[in-house]
Structure 1
Amino acid sequence: MKLISSGTSPFVRKVLVLLNETGQLDEVELVTAATTPYDTAPKVASANPIGKIPALIRAEGPAIYDSRVICRYLDDRARAGLYPDGRLWETLTLEATADGIMEAAVLMVYEHKMRPGEAFVEAWVDAQWAKVERAVGALNARWMSHLRGPLDMGQIAVGCALAYLDFRHDDRGWRKGNDALDDWFAVFAQRDSMVATRPH
């Protein structure tokens, strides 16, 4: 298998953490691609017509894409149980919440990097951060018992989302007022799979 990836994408990191946790990393070749919303790399477009990463190229079928699809596939392949039947909908909702945080945070980066000065819209950036704040607050208020439970894909996704906030938006201080989540993340970030996948 080949994973079309980028070293700083939180969505790619989510897949890499799963690969580390399930012992499948050696079975996947990482193929790095530099792509932007304005200029889709050919190798990305050939694997995913939407032009986003990650995409997973498989020998036994067509490429699959979207990190949630890839993670579900790899979890099923390894029979790892990271989408447990007993709390499946909670796990999927938690993963979706984390993905929403990552999407908003990535859009903030693109707004700064891709638009010329006169086209930059500060209100757009602030609106994306408002989504992040609401989601992080919800995690802290409603999801701590789940996050403290047995490892699942929801936890992995949240860990990658919070790590991306530290990586790209540390100055905005997501930890303020979210002490329980901060404490949880301080421990989760030290997992071997998280340490091994830190962006450079």
Structure 2
Amino acid sequence: MNRFAHFFGILAAVASFSASAASSLQDINYSVTKDESKRDIKRVVEIVLAERVDQPTLEALANQIKDSNPTSFQRTFIGWRIKGEEDGAYWAKTDFVPALNVQFLGATVADYNKLKTTSAAADGEVFGSWLSTWGADYKMVGYRKGGKIFIRSTFTDGSSSTKEFVPKNFSGRSVLVDAEGSDFGEYYLVNAHGDLEFWGEDGSFYTAKKTD
């Protein structure tokens, strides 16, 4: 193969890769919930993704969002949340300052998928398993043992902690209260769908979805 054929072969491969990447990005569902700018100084964008994506895909999406505005901003800040977790902190940030800087504030897609498949086995009768993204990403497993109720939380780094809870009747509902007490009147409620609701003095503030 002469050098010209080799050169055009490389160009064709790059074009094919770019087309494939563009096609894959079209399959990703997201919505822009905020897009504000201040002259050419900075642009702030907030995105809600239908689900977590890997870092190369996130970077490609970030560049796509950045290029969607023809203005050459000195800095572009893009914050990413996951659908169903909009009330929490950003899952990730992709900031152009001006070079792209990627920061994951929540579990990466690989860590999250690993967490989902973490065994729900516990030393007793399991009555529920939930995924929580409140403050951190972790899996919760509720089980009964020796007449007591426990909830074990397993985190993305493999560490875990277990707390004992006691059932109480609150406003006609059966709830779970930390056996050691709570300074803010917090408790858990397993709702009719099997999800775990987090409650406090001001009402329900988060719901962890059940897992299989």
Calculate the TM-score normalised by the size of structure 2.
0.26
| Max Rg structure | 2
Of Structure 1 and Structure 2, the greater helix share is in 1
Which of the pair has the greater relative contact order for Cα pairs under 8 Å at 6+ separation?
Answer: 1
TM-score by length of 1: 0.27
